[in-house]
Amino acid sequence: MRFIELYRSIMQGVWNIGFVENTLDEVIDGSPLKINWLKHECKNRWFADPFILDVTDDKIYVLVEEYYYPHKRGRLAMLTVDRASNTLLKVDTILELDSHLSFPAIIRRDGKILVYPENFKGGGLKLYELDLEKAALVNGRQVSDALLTDAIYTELFGKKQIYSTEFPDPNGATLGVYELNENGKYVKVKEYRFPENIARNAGDWFEHKGKLYRPAQECNVEYGHGISFQQIENSPDGLVFKELWRKTSPHPTMKVAFHTFNMYKGVMVVDCRGYRYRVAAGIINFFRRPFVKG
C-alpha cells in the first residue's frame, strides 16, 4: 500500500493555462500554436479548465479549476492576469465544496454571469450566479440530476440544450443531448456515438464565419490527452462532427495532456498537464515503457 501511495505521489500531475497568440482563422486551419503560458509562483496549487470571464486593455480575468494540494480536490477560482506579461496578479477562490469542482463553463444572460461547473461527485449539475463584489458563486440550483462531465450549454440549434458525456463513462465515445423536461430539469433525449474516445467537451462550442465548431477531448491514451477540433454540420439525421485537426500539448516540458480551448473578446486560452515531479516521473516512465509495450 505504501508503494502504491508513493507511486501515485510521484506521478501526480500539475496543470497550467496559456494564452494563444494565433488568430482564430489560424487555429481553425490547424496552424502550429503559439502560446504564452501563465507565469505564477504558486507552489501549493495549479490551474486548469480555463474559461475567459472578461478582457480589458491591461488585464484578463479567467475562471479556472484551482486544485489546492492541502485539500486534495479542485475548487473554482477567478484569476486576474496581467495581459502584457502573462503574469498572475491575483487569485480569488469563488466556490469550494466537499466534492471536486472543475470546468467552470459560463452563460452570459440579462446582464448576469451564470456558471455551471462540473461537480458530478456532488450529485448532478448546478447553475450558479457570479457575484463579482463578493468574488463568489451564489444561489446554486440544480438543473440536471444526471452525472454530467464537462457539460456545454448551447442555443446554437434554436433551442436550449446541453451536450455532455456522463459518469461512469466520462472519457468515452458517447455524447449525450439533454433538454428540459416538464419538471424543469435537463434529461437525455439523444446520443451521438463516436468511433473513438473523443466525445468529451474541451470548451464552449462557437460560430465563426457561418460555421460551427466544437473543441473536444481526445481520451484514447488517457483523460484529456489531446484536443480534437471539430466542425459541426447539420444533416437530416442530426449533427455530424467532422474532425479538422488533433493536437497534443505544445508545451516544452508539460506533455501529458492538453484538453481545453476557450475564447472570449478575441482572447483564446488553453491548458496543459505535466508531472509535478518531472524527473522522478520520467525515470519511472522510462522503466515502465518496455512492460507497457509488452
Query: The domain that contains 43 carries what CATH number?
Result: 2.115.10.20
Give 201-212 pLDDT, tens digit per residue: 999 999 999 999
Residue 51 lies in a domain: yes
Residue 175: predicted pLDDT = 98
Evaluated on CA atoms 28, 204, 149, 278, the torsion sign reads positive
Domain count, the chain: 1
Residues in the chain: 294
Residue 117 lies in a domain: yes
Name the DSSP class of 257: B
> pTM of this prediction?
0.92
Confidence of residue 135 (pLDDT cuts 50, 70, 90): very high
Name the DSSP class of 31: P
Strands (DSSP E) found in the chain: 13-20, 35-37, 45-55, 59-68, 73-82, 87-95, 102-109, 112-118, 125-131, 136-144, 148-154, 161-166, 174-180, 186-193, 206-208, 211-218, 226-235, 238-247, 261-264, 267-275
User: Is there a contact between 227 and 216 (Cβ–Cβ < 8 Å)?
Assistant: yes
Residue 292 clears pLDDT 50, i.e. is over it: no
Residue 267 clears pLDDT 70, i.e. is over it: yes
Residue 100: predicted pLDDT = 96
Q: Strand, helix or coil at 29?
A: helix
Residue 279: predicted pLDDT = 45
Residue 243 clears pLDDT 50, i.e. is over it: yes
Give 83-126 pLDDT, tens digit per residue: 999 999 999 999 999 999 999 999 999 999 999 999 999 999 99
Residue 293 clears pLDDT 60, i.e. is over it: no
Residue 41 clears pLDDT 60, i.e. is over it: yes
Range of the domain at 165: 39-248
Residue 255 lies in a domain: no
Residue 264 lies in a domain: no
Residue 150 lies in a domain: yes
Residue 275: predicted pLDDT = 80
Confidence of residue 43 (pLDDT cuts 50, 70, 90): very high
Residue 92 lies in a domain: yes
Which H or E element spans position 283? helix 278-293
Residue 18 lies in a domain: no
Name the DSSP class of 211: E
Residue 287: predicted pLDDT = 53
Residue 238: predicted pLDDT = 94
Give 205-235 pLDDT, tens digit per residue: 999 999 999 999 999 999 999 999 999 999 9
Confidence of residue 294 (pLDDT cuts 50, 70, 90): very low
Residue 129 lies in a domain: yes
